[in-house]
Structure 1
Amino acid sequence: MSHFVVIGAGQAGASLVAKLRKDGFEGDITLIGGETVPPYQRPPLSKAYLLGEMEKERLFLRPESFYADQDITLRMGTWVNGIDAEAKTIQIGEEDIAYDQLALTTGSVPRRLPAAIGGDLEGVFVVRDLADVDAMAPAVQPGARVLIVGGGYIGLEAAAVCAKLGLDVTLVEMADRILQRVAAPETSDYFRALHTGHGVNILEGTGLDHLTGADGKVTSATLTDGAELAVDFVVVGVGIEPATDLAELAGLDLDNGIKVDAQGRTSDASIWAAGDCASFPHQGRRIRLESVPNAIDQAEVVAQNMMGAAQDYSAQPWFWSDQYDVKLQIAGLNTGYDTVVTRAGEGATTSFWYYAGDQLLAVDAMNDPRAYMVAKRLIDAGKTADKSVVADASADLKPLLRA
């Protein structure tokens, strides 16, 4: 009987093993994860869970009993030391486990501050997994002074939670503006105004020089402009890196992650990869998507292909972020845009539409689900949208779908 092993028990890994069983795979399945809890949702960690609005058990993607019911061996709190691709085994301590096919859904790891600038001081946190948030939660108290390093979505979401809970929040972003890597200036301006309106002190074009501590705990931060801030704790949100250590040890090809083909197969015919850790071909270039939808969709295609489907994965990128009472929904990829069209609604309702020439590439929609859904359907279908119609807030967007 075939044995399929999946290393990485996050959203992608959990989706992959569930899909194997749903589609009729009758062999042995082993899902291996480094954390001691069953697979869970990560997006609520820095929002509802940190706010105390969601209990830990509600984070779980499925009850732990699901895996036993589906005859899936779930090995939690387990670290894989290596992969012998030639022998088709993985090493866990002194134990070797044979596989017929192996999937890597190892996800990503957060970038951390170097120890040389105080990154190893107590009170310096990243927001990536349950243990990170549980460790940080006691520090999140009204009136506490928090420095957030990084003005991407993770940093902004952490700032929103801290501001809502009554903390004194300062956010530093080394680039000229927040969200510079991922969004247009219009979106940056929107969220800057949103955060400053909630009392967050945003310092752009300003980085962290170093942290200082007393008795091993962070107490102050010196910025690149020479300013010194007293802090009670620090949240680091400066991006993530694909977790490729095991793939590298196995001799697999890497390219901004684990390099896979359109079906999710690595350079070894018996090893697959999906989710944050995998880079794949998309519209003539190679990309890696850090999103829950991609983790689920790609993992399910890989599960089918491990059973012989030979199906290409066609990504339809979409993302979201919740900050205060604003839900940002993003469809498409804005790489290569030259024009941004603004569709202004009432209050906080706004959307920004990205074009390359006359071709619609992506949309950032704030509290505007209708605009988001129309844009997403157009982008997924490879269609565009008349800029004059988009810019006219009184115009009905639905006819664009019939164009």
Structure 2
Amino acid sequence: MDRNTAFLIAGAGLAGAKAAETLRAEGFDGPLVLLGDEHERPYERPPLSKGYLLGTSEKEKVYVHPPQWYAEHDVDLRLGRTVSAVDPAAHEVTLADGSRLGYAKLLLATGSTPRRLPVPGADLDGVHYLRRLADSERLQEVNRSASRIVVIGAGWIGLETAAAARTAGVEVTVLEAAPLPLLRVLGPEVARIFATLHTDHGVELRGGAQVAEITGTNGAVDGVRLADGSLIGADAVIVGIGITPNTELAAAAGLKVDNGIVVDERLRSSHPDIFAAGDVANAYHPLLGRHLRVEHWANALHQPKTAAKAMLDQDVRYDRLPYFFTDQYDLGMEYTGYVEPEGYDRVVFRGDTDAREFIAFWLSGGRVLAGMNVNVWDVVEPIRALVTSGQAVDPERLADPDVPLPELLP
């Protein structure tokens, strides 16, 4: 591989595939290698805890491109190939089999790994994590065969897998260390709505729960014991306690790492020819004025487009507001913006929270920091405009559904 012309992408998920797509669309005609440690071609992760897990979406829809796309666009897709080392000085990567590839520019789209539960019994059969396509397929089988499931962690993955299990008719207990689900992300005002959503659908939700151990019989899960001594029976356990960015390659290569690979607004790392995108990138956000690592689908979809253009020396920067969505039972939601925990002084609701048809706005000093529309659609753009304006709004008018959102801006 000619290190003077080749572009390499380490990580064949959504971010890696979209970077390859953008490079070709922008006219890059040199050697382009996309390396992935899985044996599946690039796919999207949201369906793994939503439609594909529920059985409402077919497998083919999870993939980013049809299988022939890579050959048609002269993308050298190498599956089952793990990058084990990066040598920035030599402009070279080493693969797990010992082979080496040279590059002119390198994109690290290495993603993240689920955090493991550090308690006795966590290695028993029947303890599941959700990150890869095969994980989702195992959980589909669990939802068909189990009668009782315990979900540890009430973040987005925990709640979505709980909703899928309940929809399949499985008894579900969700254990969360915080008093409410999603408390750190949404704050108590909105977290209570998600707690009620799940209890209304028959989930036993236990806040303030501390897991002491996972119990088993003959090597297989049969329950979860809490720190207070109580035991919850289970045929399977799903663990969703967060993810850790895969920064090992970058750290070993001497790149700056701090809660992810530190990159600027162009997604360039501390080495000028190495870029990062997706879950692993801790990127400077020019609108928010800080570094931010975002673990959601929209970031993996859009950020690589900026990285690819920057690799081609185009004058670009990544300034899209964070965005994520969820589907749980009959609730669909989109969230736009960014709020640090306790970084707001007021939540304004527009609509009917009891009917779960509303928009929630997080404000600080009258400025809208973020908005979340629940079962209310086609409002992301005006919410984005409110956030990016940086101007104070009238909370009373903000709460009034009869006042169109665009009219709130001067």
Could you state the TM-score of these two structures normalised by the residue count of structure 1?
A: 0.96
Query: 1:296-322 CA deviation, whole Å, 9 max, x = no partner?
Result: 221111101111113222132111011
What is the rounded CA distance, in whole Å, between the counterparts of 2:16 and 2:50 in structure 1? 23
Q: Given that residues 328 and 364 in structure 1 are in contact (C-alpha distance below 8 angstroms), is that contact kept between their aligned partners in structure 2?
A: yes
2:217 corresponding residue in structure 1: 214
1:43 corresponding residue in structure 2: 46
Give unpaired runs (5+ residues) of structure 1.
Answer: none
2:15 corresponding residue in structure 1: 12
Q: Given that residues 3 and 27 in structure 1 are in contact (C-alpha distance below 8 angstroms), is that contact kept between their aligned partners in structure 2?
A: yes
Instruction: Answer yes or no: is 1:376 the counterpart of 2:384.
Output: yes
Instruction: Answer yes or no: is 1:100 the counterpart of 2:125.
Output: no
**CA deviation after TM superposition for structure 1 residue 176, in Å:** 1.7
1:310 corresponding residue in structure 2: 315
RMSD over aligned Cα atoms: 1.5
Q: Given that residues 146 and 235 in structure 2 are in contact (C-alpha distance below 8 angstroms), is that contact kept between their aligned partners in structure 1?
A: no
Q: Given that residues 143 and 166 in structure 1 are in contact (C-alpha distance below 8 angstroms), is that contact kept between their aligned partners in structure 2?
A: no
Instruction: Answer yes or no: is 1:190 the counterpart of 2:193.
Output: yes
The AA in structure 2 aligned to 1:34 is D
Instruction: Answer yes or no: is 1:112 the counterpart of 2:116.
Output: yes
The AA in structure 1 aligned to 2:67 is E
What is the rounded CA distance, in whole Å, between the counterparts of 1:313 and 1:372 in structure 2? 18
Instruction: Answer yes or no: is 1:199 the counterpart of 2:206.
Output: no
2:345 corresponding residue in structure 1: 338
What is the rounded CA distance, in whole Å, between the counterparts of 1:197 and 1:379 in structure 2? 32
The AA in structure 2 aligned to 1:293 is A
The AA in structure 1 aligned to 2:325 is W
Q: Given that residues 11 and 34 in structure 2 are in contact (C-alpha distance below 8 angstroms), is that contact kept between their aligned partners in structure 1?
A: yes
SS at match of 1:184: helix
Instruction: Answer yes or no: is 1:241 the counterpart of 2:261.
Output: no
SS at match of 1:388: helix
Runs of 4+ in 1 over 3 A off after TM superposition: 370-373, 380-385, 393-396
Instruction: Answer yes or no: is 1:347 the counterpart of 2:355.
Output: yes
Query: Which segment is superposed worse, 371-380 or 171-180?
Result: 371-380
Could you state the TM-score of these two structures normalised by the residue count of structure 2?
A: 0.94
What is the rounded CA distance, in whole Å, between the counterparts of 1:397 and 1:83 in structure 2? 49
2:60 corresponding residue in structure 1: 57
Q: Given that residues 317 and 332 in structure 1 are in contact (C-alpha distance below 8 angstroms), is that contact kept between their aligned partners in structure 2?
A: yes
Q: Given that residues 12 and 105 in structure 1 are in contact (C-alpha distance below 8 angstroms), is that contact kept between their aligned partners in structure 2?
A: yes
The AA in structure 2 aligned to 1:337 is Y
Query: 1:380-400 CA deviation, whole Å, 9 max, x = no partner?
Result: 344443211122234333422
1:128 corresponding residue in structure 2: 131
**CA deviation after TM superposition for structure 1 residue 370, in Å:** 4.5
**CA deviation after TM superposition for structure 1 residue 173, in Å:** 0.4
1:386 to 385, 394, 404: 394
Query: 1:146-178 CA deviation, whole Å, 9 max, x = no partner?
Result: 000001111111111111110000001001211
What is the rounded CA distance, in whole Å, between the counterparts of 1:293 and 1:52 in structure 2? 23
Q: Given that residues 398 and 408 in structure 2 are in contact (C-alpha distance below 8 angstroms), is that contact kept between their aligned partners in structure 1?
A: no
**CA deviation after TM superposition for structure 1 residue 262, in Å:** 1.6
**CA deviation after TM superposition for structure 1 residue 97, in Å:** 0.7
1:324 corresponding residue in structure 2: 329
Aligned pairs (5 A) from 1:226-265? 226-265=229-268
Query: 1:209-235 CA deviation, whole Å, 9 max, x = no partner?
Result: 110111211111101222101100001
SS at match of 1:64: coil
1:292 to 297, 302, 326: 297
What is the rounded CA distance, in whole Å, between the counterparts of 1:322 and 1:373 in structure 2? 20
Query: Which segment is superposed worse, 82-91 or 15-24?
Result: 82-91
The AA in structure 1 aligned to 2:321 is Q
Percent identity, please.
39
**CA deviation after TM superposition for structure 1 residue 328, in Å:** 1.1
Aligned residues: 401
